[in-house]
Amino acid sequence: MLARRTDAALSGLTTGLLVLALLMAVAGWLAPSSQAEEPPATPPQRLRLASLDVAADVVPIEVSPDGVLDPPADPSTVGWWQRSARPGSDRGQTVITGHTVHTGGGALDPVIDLEDGGVGARVVLTTRVARQVYRVTEVLDTTREELAERSEELFGQDGGDGRLVLVTCTDWNGTTYEKNLVVIAEQQGPATARRRS
Amino acid sequence: MSPRLPLLRTAVAAVGAGSLVLLSATPGAAAAPVAPASATAIRVTVANTPADSGSYEVSTDGTDTTTSGSNAPLVTALGNQPLVSVGTLAQDATVAVTSGQGSSAACAGVAGDGASLVAAGDSFCLDPGDNATISAGTFELGDVEIVRADLLAGFDQQLQAALQPVLDALVPAAQGAVQQALTSVGEPEVVLDLGAVQSQCTAGLNNASGDSQLVDAGLYVVLAGQRVDLVDLPVNPPPNTKVVTDLDVVLTAVTDALETELTTALDGALAPLAAVVDQVETQLNDNIVSAVAEQLAPLEDNILRGTLNKQSRPAPGAIEVTALDLSVLPAAAEFDVDLLSVQLGESTCGPNGRVTVTEDETDDPSPSPKPTPRSVPTAVPAGLADAPGSGDAGDGGALALGALGLALAAAGTAGYAGYRRSLG
């Protein structure tokens, strides 16, 4: 009697283990590997903010010795501060700036709309080999003095987790822009490799 | 003559000499650079005519940072020459003073279209895109001539006598075959193919280091429209790696083609000697191939010489790195090649020093720290009144317009006040 019960228990255990092994094998086959190799971090080439119909080429720019980060002269493009983090990096911050043009034609003209409910908007940076998605978490309206005071926090590369800092101008007073609009966006997962055509 | 004249002359001479001494001392009084760096993407010398991308040079004396040249050079800077048409040039340099100590970094290189640029720091300048090619020269093989003596070498007296009646026909037949073979091979072109060839360096106070990277780089020769690889260059060569190559493959291609041509070219000319034709034809083939090989012998010498990751230390704490230094050697001159010398990716860093703290004239016990180049942006002027080309220069233009408006308003107010006073 005892032997029969033991046999039945062992038989059930074996069947359970077989089913579990089968399930794990199927799950392993369906689920993407967590060990997938991440593409290398390279300079951004294209910025896309689909919800605002923003799409612009990205070119490298440099800060002047007196601390001015001028966007590219062509307002239809945006500039990536070439000493800031590359998309997909897990350190530093990716700093991108572009012109807002009062009469239109600036790559980042529509970004002003993020001031009202822009948190959560999706931003995508593509590089030669990868694609990094961000979500807007904060939209700041700063005076030039405030920007200078917070420059280390907003643009410094010693800390950070690879977030995107997008800067343009706002607050047109009839003759000039008085403030900066700073959009902070956090990485949504790791960068993914671009498919080569 | 006035007795005062010698005195006057002496005084003028003394003033002149004093001025010269002061002038020569003036440069020494200027602040010396404590951190220099420079970068040059490409230098090329074709037929003793040099051209380059210009150098980008940066230095600081701890207070002021000066730059010269461009860090965004274009291939067009090399002028109108046919050999170099690489897609992307990169040259950048940066210097800094931290805690009074100078540091410098530079990077330079060339790559094909689609390469991305990276600023100087502690890495290379370029992420490769497509491959680019640089022609090291086209070799003309046309000056090969067959003479009667070439044909008769190795034959005994009897056979030489037997060949005499057909020599007048043999020489042009052999020459025709040689030309046919050379035409089929064409004018071989030696080409440097590269994904990216670049160098970088960094230097601190008493140390300097550098490195080079040659991505997907090699030399090949185009023979009859076909690519024949000569040498693949290593990606990360140790400092001062030497590479030489000959064009033996060209000679092999010519002789292979020649032997094919000769089998038919000589048959007709040798018809009168049908009885001994096989023996004679074999010897004649050998003679002609030998004559051609002798005339093309320099192809077997070293035609191209290169140094990879060329490094030198012009001073303690300084380094100069050139990713690839390639020369077409004089042996190639026989083939009407424009002698070429090309240096790709030249970076220099250091020597760096300390900022000298000079005694302040006012004896201020707490002098303000010397400013250093900004590490992060503190201003982002990202607003324009109008797009460029629409007649307004942006914030500056808007400010100017505003100032003009204010001035007009002030003038109007003043005029109105004056008018009111004149009424009163």
Closest Cβ–Cβ partner in B121, B382, B387 for A103: B387
Going A68 to A71 to A74 to A80, the CA torsion angle's sign is positive
Cβ within 8 Å of residue B281, ≥6 positions away:
B266, B267, B270
Under a CB-based contact definition with an 8 Å cutoff, are residues B82 and B133 in contact?
no
Closest Cβ–Cβ partner in A97, A151, A172 for B382: A97
CB contact under 8 A, B384 and A106: yes
CB contact under 8 A, A65 and B395: no
Contact residues of B toward A, CB < 8 A:
65, 114, 116-119, 121, 127, 129, 373-388, 390, 395, 398-399, 401-402
Poorest-pLDDT segment among A88-102, A157-171, B220-234, B314-328:
B220-234
Beta bridge partners of A125: A47, A132
Q: What pLDDT is attached to residue A106? A: 92
CB contact under 8 A, B383 and A68: no
Under a CB-based contact definition with an 8 Å cutoff, are residues B385 and B402 in contact?
no
Alpha carbon B317 to its chain's center: 25
CB contact under 8 A, B380 and A60: no
Under a CB-based contact definition with an 8 Å cutoff, are residues B82 and B49 in contact?
no
Instruction: Identify the band that residue A2 occupies on the pLDDT scale cut at 50, 70 and 90.
Output: very low
CB contact under 8 A, B117 and A148: no
Environment class of A10 (CB within 10 Å of its CB; exposed 0-12, middle 13-18, buried 19+) = exposed
The mean per-residue pLDDT over the stretch A94-113 comes to: 93
What's the distance, Cα to Cα, between the start and end of chain A in Å? Answer: 69
Q: What pLDDT is attached to residue A81? A: 93
Q: How far apart are CA A187 and CA A135, in angstroms?
A: 7
Residue of B nearest to A181 (CA): B382
Radius of gyration of chain B (CA): 35
Q: Which two tokens stand for residue A11?
A: 């038989």
Q: Is A153 on the interface with B (CB under 8 A)?
A: no
Which of the residues B380, B399, B404, B406 would you substitute to probe the A interface, choosing the one with the greatest number of A C-beta atoms within 10 Å?
A: B380
The letter for the amino acid at A68 is V
The mean per-residue pLDDT over the stretch A129-150 comes to: 91
The mean per-residue pLDDT over the stretch A43-69 comes to: 88
Give the torsion through C-alpha atoms of B34, B90, B382, B384, to 10 deg.
120
Q: Is A197 on the interface with B (CB under 8 A)?
A: no
Nearest to B47 by CA among B85, B82, B88, B75: B82
Alpha carbon B169 to its chain's center: 51
Neighbours of A145 (CB within 10 A): 10
Under a CB-based contact definition with an 8 Å cutoff, are residues A51 and A121 in contact?
yes
Neighbours of B263 (CB within 10 A): 11
Q: What pLDDT is attached to residue B245? A: 81
Closest Cβ–Cβ partner in B121, B376, B383 for A100: B383
Q: Is A135 on the interface with B (CB under 8 A)?
A: no
Q: Which two tokens stand for residue A191?
A: 């960068």
Nearest to B308 by CA among B406, B235, B372: B235
Q: Which of residues 55-94 of A touch B (CB under 8 A)?
A: 60, 62-71, 73-75, 81-83
Q: Which two tokens stand for residue B141?
A: 């093989």
Which of the residues B95, B123, B376 would you substitute to probe the A interface, choosing the one with the greatest number of A C-beta atoms within 10 Å?
A: B376
Q: How far apart are CA B97 and CA B102, in angstroms?
A: 4
Which of the residues A42, A96, A102, A112 would you substitute to probe the B interface, choosing the one with the greatest number of B C-beta atoms within 10 Å?
A: A102
Closest Cβ–Cβ partner in A73, A147, A176 for B379: A147
CB contact under 8 A, B382 and A101: no
Chain A residues with CB under 8 Å of B381 CB are 68, 70-71, 169
Report the DSSP pairing between strands B132-138 and B189-194. antiparallel
Under a CB-based contact definition with an 8 Å cutoff, are residues B170 and B152 in contact?
no
Give, in degrees to the nearest 5, the angle at Cα A130 between A124 and A132.
30
Under a CB-based contact definition with an 8 Å cutoff, are residues A99 and B384 in contact?
yes
Instruction: Identify the band that residue A58 occupies on the pLDDT scale cut at 50, 70 and 90.
Output: very high
Higher pLDDT, A126 or B330: A126
Q: Min CA distance, A107 vs chain B (Å)? A: 11
Q: Min CA distance, A118 vs chain B (Å)? A: 20
What number is the ipTM of this complex? 0.79
Number of A to B CB contacts under 8 A, please give it. Answer: 122
CB contact under 8 A, A75 and B118: no
Under a CB-based contact definition with an 8 Å cutoff, are residues A115 and A94 in contact?
no
Q: Is A173 on the interface with B (CB under 8 A)?
A: no
Domain ranges of chain B: 31-143+178-349
Chain B residues with CB under 8 Å of A63 CB are 374, 376-377
Chain A residues with CB under 8 Å of B398 CB are 175-176
Per-residue pLDDT of chain B (424 residues; tens, 9 = 90+): 344 444 444 444 444 444 433 333 333 344 678 899 999 999 988 777 788 888 999 999 888 888 898 888 877 777 766 667 667 889 999 998 888 888 999 999 998 887 777 777 767 888 887 888 888 778 888 778 888 888 888 888 878 887 888 888 888 888 888 888 888 888 888 888 888 999 999 998 888 999 999 998 988 888 888 888 888 898 989 999 988 888 888 888 888 888 888 877 777 777 666 666 677 778 888 888 888 887 777 777 677 888 999 999 998 889 999 999 988 876 676 677 766 788 999 999 999 988 865 544 444 444 444 444 457 899 999 999 888 765 443 343 343 334 434 443 444 444 444 434 433 2
Q: How far apart are CA A60 and CA A83, in angstroms?
A: 9
Instruction: Identify the band that residue A37 occupies on the pLDDT scale cut at 50, 70 and 90.
Output: low
Alpha carbon A47 to its chain's center: 10
The mean per-residue pLDDT over the stretch A47-76 comes to: 89
Give the torsion through C-alpha atoms of B373, B375, B376, B377, to 10 deg.
10
Which of the residues A83, A170, A182 would you substitute to probe the B interface, choosing the one with the greatest number of B C-beta atoms within 10 Å?
A: A83
Q: What pLDDT is attached to residue B351? A: 93
Q: Min CA distance, B62 vs chain A (Å)? A: 12
Report the DSSP pairing between strands A100-101 and A92-98. unpaired
Highest mean pLDDT among A12-16, A19-23, B263-267: B263-267
Q: Min CA distance, B399 vs chain A (Å)? A: 7
Q: What pLDDT is attached to residue B212? A: 94
Cβ within 8 Å of residue B369, ≥6 positions away:
none
